[in-house]
Structure 1
């Protein structure tokens, strides 16, 4: 299976190894099914990693026999195979049976879900980065030496990666400029992050102002009116941004790509353009599926923490989603798990994005986390005051008191908006200054 060659749908055997216990194959089965495969058998092993096959020699031969017996189109290995292990396993498998590891499988799912230019570039870069050491492994050193001047498959792959890196650098600059422009316009930026299938897209629907984004908005080309919601892995690959009003403040909420376990850092780095939304957010909602069993929840918290610790600069609010599926004791246990995790920077908030429970508590936690300043001033009670008050009501929490010839205002909002409010107030009715 060469770089860029799509994964074949068909009958699949999953293979998994674990150092300490019999492997749980539930997630790798779901990943294979998300790629369009029918899982017809599983081969597992509890032992340390074998440097030649990943599995032990005997178990690898058993895997090859099972693949032949069930007429498998594909073997899916739950883990990352180095180029040598990949080549050794391929030699054992029937000729008609392809081999993919977890890394490559996720790439294929990403490729299917990539719906815009940047997402496609990120997937293609990750594919080429994955293929490069495997191509080196199968290319003779002498041929490489002879082809240095004339070109080679390896050099061609490196050039393609360099070209994509240039395009992604431009895309990152454009995205950063767009976020800076939105801040200047007074928007708070909130990112949804977390393990795949945690319910981020459903939460995006719950938080957004549907009417405010009807048909999209010309000034924000990536602010869209729809976001997919389904019980499916990697339903969203590219980011989806929608407008929301949180505590009276104009906010843009962005749903980012779902995370998944056991992926090398270079795959995560391939999605740095997408993760820039997390890095630049004023606050991050780290969404976890509270209905998962405790072992799975701990693993997913670890994955989420690893990525957010490297990317997020703003405050992180842990969100326990799908709590409508839990009783009180189970919810208390999940809260304790999050509190003990490295993700814990603020008190976890329990919600059901689907049913709407806990959303008010989440909004309150967000209001507390977002950067906020408070100002009080008075302006003349004249015709110029009303446009100012309308502007303030669109951008924060406003209390107004009419006092004879003055309008006294208390305003809470984003620091940059507060500064702009003070500037505008100074110009109302030629007052020449702000009266605190």
Structure 2
């Protein structure tokens, strides 16, 4: 089915507090976000300013120019690369005959499209209402321009007609539902934690190739798309190693620069599954010229989410497409191309090394009658040596197991 794509004009203001490179990278990311939201970017308007215009964000001359561009292209939506205040949206809407949204609204919109689980949908709806609440006063001129489309998906199209009290009630209701869902998820996580399983969490900048690596390692098929936020709801699967040993691997939503504060909470919930993993696997798209900035974005967000204490293995992906001057800058790293047939075994080998580093070495002697116990140990511990000692008529088992269980074996 052919979906009519909305025509979009992007607006970026280059301020003195950003480097030129960071500004253009963020514009390029906005382009990708617009494409992910099923829009077609028809033009861009850039203005260099010392400070933003409090009334209309861009200068009055640029505002006239923006209106001309919107008329010429018959644009449906204008997307600003920064967060706009209610006053700015109102003033721009008076001058420009198109729907005016900002980067935050666009990201919220994509999250609304991508959320599949009940919790994901609730988190996004809550974030959208929270974003909307301070922007409700005097939206009259806007209402006529908000039919549907980019920037207006999610909790429903009547959202702007709701008064603030109604929205607060909605938020209260969502919060209650979320608490219930979160408790359920916490019970599942606690049950997993009680199983003494080694857990890995896949993190990384959006579109770095996490889902591809996840699928290669677990033989699953989660969504692999060249779009931002292809995976929004966390997925956990078993990963099997030789000898019957199993670990858990969780795939998460992609990180992004300037993630709206409204979304940190929605983000936190998808990352909570990863918050108690043993090792984080940070996938970096090494072919992206801005890979260092992407790395930093992820590490800063991990700090905000209080997850920076977890050991990290950096996987530099897409090595078949890297620039000649690429230099890995994280000490614990591997270089791969996820689509290469050797990639899974390279990653698994390093995973085993990390298991050995983070768990405790044990040695045990089991009688011939302990077949059931031996089978259980094979599943829950990483076995490095298993041999039958004729003279004692026992099995000698050596390997690694969780620290908390490392009593005086």
TM-score w.r.t. length of structure 1: 0.79
Aligned twin of 1:282: 278
Q: Could you tell me which of 242, 255, 258 is aligned with 1:259?
A: 255
- For the Cα contact (< 8 Å) 1:349–1:358, is it kept in 2? no
Q: Could you tell me which of 232, 253, 266 is aligned with 2:227?
A: 232
Alpha carbons of structure 1 residues 263 and 60: separation in structure 2 relative to 1, 3 Å: farther
Alpha carbons of structure 1 residues 326 and 272: separation in structure 2 relative to 1, 3 Å: closer
- For the Cα contact (< 8 Å) 1:192–1:287, is it kept in 2? yes
Aligned twin of 2:360: 373
Aligned twin of 2:301: 307
How many residue pairs get aligned? The number is 370
**1:417 Cα deviation from its structure 2 partner:** 5.8
CA deviations on 1:221-254 (whole Å, 9 max, x unpaired) are: xxxx531112121111111222102576421111
- For the Cα contact (< 8 Å) 1:247–1:396, is it kept in 2? no
**1:314 Cα deviation from its structure 2 partner:** 2.0
**1:17 Cα deviation from its structure 2 partner:** 1.3
* Aligned mates of 1:199, 1:305 — CA distance in 2: 17
1:241 aligns with 2:241: no
1:409 aligns with 2:368: no
**1:134 Cα deviation from its structure 2 partner:** 0.1
CA deviations on 1:35-84 (whole Å, 9 max, x unpaired) are: 11111111111223222222222212211221111111111111211222
Aligned twin of 2:157: none
TM-score w.r.t. length of structure 2: 0.84
Aligned twin of 1:354: 339
Alpha carbons of structure 1 residues 45 and 357: separation in structure 2 relative to 1, 3 Å: farther
- Within a 5 Å distance, the mapping from 1:18-33 to structure 2 comes to 18-20=14-16, 21=20, 23-24=23-24, 25-33=27-35
Alpha carbons of structure 1 residues 298 and 379: separation in structure 2 relative to 1, 3 Å: closer
**1:360 Cα deviation from its structure 2 partner:** 4.2
* Aligned mates of 1:238, 1:73 — CA distance in 2: 30
Aligned twin of 1:200: 210
* Aligned mates of 2:249, 2:269 — CA distance in 1: 17
CA deviations on 1:157-203 (whole Å, 9 max, x unpaired) are: 11211221222222222222211211222322211111110101001
Q: Could you tell me which of 12, 17, 20 is aligned with 2:13?
A: 17
Structure 2: any 5+ residue segments left out of the alignment?
A: 141-161
Aligned twin of 1:101: 102
Aligned twin of 2:92: 89
* Aligned mates of 1:281, 1:411 — CA distance in 2: 20
- For the Cα contact (< 8 Å) 1:318–1:348, is it kept in 2? yes
**1:136 Cα deviation from its structure 2 partner:** 3.9
Q: Which deviates further from its counterpart, 57-66 or 241-250?
A: 241-250
Aligned twin of 1:63: 66
* Aligned mates of 1:43, 1:390 — CA distance in 2: 65
Structure 1: any 5+ residue segments left out of the alignment?
A: 1-7, 140-151, 211-224, 340-345, 423-435
CA deviations on 1:356-380 (whole Å, 9 max, x unpaired) are: 4554443344334443011112233
**1:291 Cα deviation from its structure 2 partner:** 0.6
* Aligned mates of 2:375, 2:347 — CA distance in 1: 27
Alpha carbons of structure 1 residues 411 and 196: separation in structure 2 relative to 1, 3 Å: same
- For the Cα contact (< 8 Å) 1:395–1:417, is it kept in 2? no
* Aligned mates of 1:231, 1:308 — CA distance in 2: 24
Alpha carbons of structure 1 residues 278 and 202: separation in structure 2 relative to 1, 3 Å: same
Aligned twin of 2:155: none
Q: Could you tell me which of 386, 391, 396 is aligned with 1:400?
A: 386
**1:279 Cα deviation from its structure 2 partner:** 1.4
